[in-house]
Amino acid sequence: GNSVTQMEGPVTLSEEAFLTINCTYTATGYPSLFWYVQYPGEGLQLLLKATKADDKGSNKGFEATYRKETTSFHLEKGSVQVSDSAVYFCALRGGGNTGKLIFGQGTTLQVKP
Amino acid sequence: NAGVTQTPKFQVLKTGQSMTLQCAQDMNHNSMYWYRQDPGMGLRLIYYSASEGTTDKGEVPNGYNVSRLNKREFSLRLESAAPSQTSVYFCASSEPMTGRGNQPQHFGDGTRLSIL
C-alpha cells in the first residue's frame, strides 16, 4: 500500500541556517504530494504541493521537488527563521476519487535565535 | 473566514463514557475527513465522507462511528471511550479529486481528548 516516510526529528537549527527535511514515498501510479505545517496548538495548513514528476512546489521560501526516480519530495528552505518552528508533515494522495491523504510521522523543527 | 470549525476544543472523559465530536465547514466542500494524531505516528484516517450521504472506513475505524448530517457537518462518535483513544482529533474538508486531484484538505484546529 501507499506510505510516506520522513526523517526523524526534532531538527534544531540556528536562525538563517539551511533546512532540509527528507521525505520519501511508496505509491502505485502517480500520486500528488504535499507538505503541511502545524504550528503549536493549531491544525494543519497546506504549505506547498506538487502533482506530477519534476513539479516544484514553493511557498514562503520553502521548496520541494517531486522526484519520481528517487520517490522523494524533500522540503528545503535557504534561511530559516524562528517563526518557522513547527511540525512539518509530508503527505501523498493516491488515485481514486476519495481524496484520502497518507501522512508521514511529522518532523519537528526548532529554530533558535 | 471560519473554514473548518471543531467543537469542543478540549474534553476529558472517563473510560466507558460516550461523546460526539462535532465538525462543520463553510466552504461548500463535498468531502470531509476525521483523523487522529498521536506522537510519532503522524495523522491517521479514521473515517471519511466522499460526499453527502456516504461514509467509509479509513485506516483506524475501530471504536468510532460517524454521521454525515448534511453537506456542512460531519460528526465523530465514541460509543464507549477507552484510554487508547486519548489523542488529538482533526476534521478536514476538501473538494473531491478531479483530474490529477490537487485539491488540498483544509483542517480544523483539533479536539484534544483525554480518556482516564
A101 and B58 in contact by Cβ < 8 A?
A: no
A97 and B107 in contact by Cβ < 8 A?
A: no
Interface test with A, best of B46, B105, B106 (most A CBs within 10 A): B105
CB pairs under 8 A between A and B: 75
A105 and B42 in contact by Cβ < 8 A?
A: yes
Indicate the DSSP class of residue B103. P
How does pLDDT run across A30-72, given as a tens digit for each residue? 889 999 999 988 889 999 999 889 999 999 999 999 999 999 9
Per CB-CB distance under 8 Å, the chain B contacts of A97 are 50, 96-97
Q: For residue A8, what pLDDT band results from cuts at 50, 70 and 90?
A: confident
Let me know: does B53 contact B86? Beta carbons within 8 Å. no
User: SS3 for B85?
Assistant: helix
Assess A7–B contact: CB distance below 8 Å, yes or no.
no
Indicate the DSSP class of residue B79. S
What pLDDT is attached to residue A35?
96
Sign of CA dihedral B38, B40, B43, B45: negative
> Is the bond preceding residue B104 a cis peptide, omega within 30 degrees?
no
Partner residue facing B48 (CB), from A42, A93, A98: A98
Please tell me the distance in Å from B52's CA to the nearest CA on chain A: 13
Report the candidate in B82, B86, B65, B85 with the shortest Cα–Cα distance to residue B74: B65
Indicate the DSSP class of residue B63. T
How does pLDDT run across B36-68, given as a tens digit for each residue? 999 878 899 999 998 888 999 999 999 999 999
User: SS3 for B84?
Assistant: helix
What pLDDT is attached to residue B98?
57
C-alpha cell at B44: 491517521
Please tell me the distance in Å from A45's CA to the nearest CA on chain B: 7
Residue B13 has pLDDT above 80, yes or no: yes
Per CB-CB distance under 8 Å, the chain A contacts of B42 are 4, 89, 103-106
A100 and B108 in contact by Cβ < 8 A?
A: no
What pLDDT is attached to residue A88?
96
Q: How many CB atoms lie within 10 A of CB B40?
A: 8
> Is the bond preceding residue A40 a cis peptide, omega within 30 degrees?
no
What pLDDT is attached to residue B71?
94
- Report the alpha-carbon distance of residue B107 to residue A103 in Å, rounded: 14
What pLDDT is attached to residue B104?
76
Please name the residues in contact with B1: beta carbons below 8 A apart, sequence gap of 6 or more: none
C-alpha cell at B105: 484538505
- Using a pLDDT cut of 90, give the percent of chain A over it: 76
How does pLDDT run across B58-95, given as a tens digit for each residue? 999 999 999 998 999 999 999 999 999 999 999 999 88
Residue B96 has pLDDT above 80, yes or no: no
